[in-house]
Amino acid sequence: MKELQKIAVIGGGGRTGQYLVNQLIEKGYSLKLLLRHPENFTMQSPLIEIVEGDVLNPEAVRILLEDCSAVLSTAGQRQDEPLVASQASVNIMNAIGDRPVRYVVLAGLNVDTPSDEKGEQSVKATEWMRATFPAIHNDRQKSYSVLAESNAEWIMVRVPYIEFNGNRAEVKVSGTDSPGAKIDAADIAGFMINQITDDTWLRKAPFISN
């Protein structure tokens, strides 16, 4: 059995991130969590080490990744705050450098890649995001470009509407279009964790749904 690694988690205090942290602990991984407000984080485990800081701070990200062999991020855009996605990817890529550290990041289905063949619903969702939140949409697209232009081991997991029922179900995966209209946060967490050791979607941006 492959030795369990230490995993860095960004966004672990969020709604989807909490599913991720719980499942990683269940699997016995040692974790380093980057938290802006650790005083609000109530989950306790001897497997958790907390690093106080912001993903927009390069030094905090460097400290977070010092002894980790993978980093999983569910960090989303914060209302009325600086754009997160692209700068987070830049900071993480810089902290990884030439090390074989895998980066698995959560994104919306509005991100476009060259291999996409988006159907009507995915196109509508993408156009809505572009028209309604142009700055956020462009920043997330820029985040993909940062990864695509790097030599790192990355996987961008694109998802439709997220439900928070905690009910596990079959996960459908596609490299070209979202195979469904929704997915549970528990299944997002499970899929992201699998990508730590699975090379199927390495340097790609799969869509997943239930």
Residues whose CB is less than 8 angstroms from the CB of residue 147 and which lie 6 or more positions away in sequence, other chains included: 89, 93, 103, 105, 154, 156, 203
Task: Please tell me the distance from the alpha carbon of residue 28 to that of residue 125, in angstroms, as a whole number.
Answer: 37
Q: Is position 18 within any domain?
A: yes
pLDDT tens track, the chain, 210 positions: 345 579 999 999 999 999 999 999 999 999 999 999 999 999 999 999 999 999 999 999 999 999 999 999 999 898 888 999 999 999 999 999 999 999 999 999 999 999 999 999 999 999 999 999 999 999 999 999 999 999 999 999 999 999 999 989 999 999 999 999 999 999 999 999 999 999 999 999 999 999
Strands 182-184 and 172-174: unpaired
CA 151 to chain centre: 18
**What is the count of structural domains for the chain?**
1
Using CA atoms, how far residue 180 sits from 118, 120, 140, 161, in Å, is 12, 12, 21, 9
Task: Please tell me the distance from the alpha carbon of residue 177 to that of residue 80, in angstroms, as a whole number.
Answer: 30
Q: Residue 167 sits in a domain of what CATH number?
A: 3.40.50.720
* Closest to 49 (Cα-Cα) out of 86, 19, 9: 9
10 Å CB burial of residue 42 (0-12, 13-18, 19+) is: exposed
- Which own/partner contact pairs does 58-61 have at CB distance under 8 Å and 24+ positions apart? 58/91, 58/94, 58/95, 60/34, 61/34, 61/88, 61/91, 61/92, 61/94, 61/95
pTM above 0.85, yes or no: yes
Q: Is position 97 within any domain?
A: yes
The backbone torsions φ and ψ at residue 135, rounded to the nearest 5 degrees and listed phi first, read: -65, -45
Helix (H, G, I), strand (E, B) or coil at 188: helix
Q: Is position 1 within any domain?
A: no
pLDDT of residue 3: 57
Strands 207-209 and 30-35: unpaired
Q: How many CA atoms lie within 13 A of 159 on its CB side?
A: 24
Copy the structure tokens of residue 87: 């700068």
pLDDT of residue 129: 95
Tokens 């309604």 label which residue?
132
Structural domain of 140 = 6-209
Q: Is position 107 within any domain?
A: yes
Task: Please tell me the distance from the alpha carbon of residue 33 to that of residue 51, in angstroms, as a whole number.
Answer: 6
